[in-house]
Amino acid sequence: MTRFHGTTILGVRKDGRVALGGDGQVSMGETVFKSHGSKVRTLKGGKVLAGFAGSVADALTLYEKFEEKLDRYPGNLPRASVELAKDWRSDRVLRRLEALLVVADLEHSFLLSGTGELIEPDDGIVAIGSGGNFALAAARALLPIPGQAARDITQRSLEIAADICVFTNRNITILELPNDGKR
Q: Tell me the catalytic residues.
A: 7
Q: Residue 130, exposed/middle/buried by CB under 10 A (0-12, 13-18, 19+)?
A: buried
Sheet order of strands, 173-177 included: 125-129, 8-14, 17-22, 173-177
Residue 122 CA to residue 58 CA, distance in Å, equals 28
Q: Nearest-CA neighbor of 27 among 16, 19, 18, 36?
A: 36
Cβ neighbours around 92 below 10 Å, total: 6
Q: Residue 28, exposed/middle/buried by CB under 10 A (0-12, 13-18, 19+)?
A: exposed
Contact 82, 76 (CB under 8 A): no
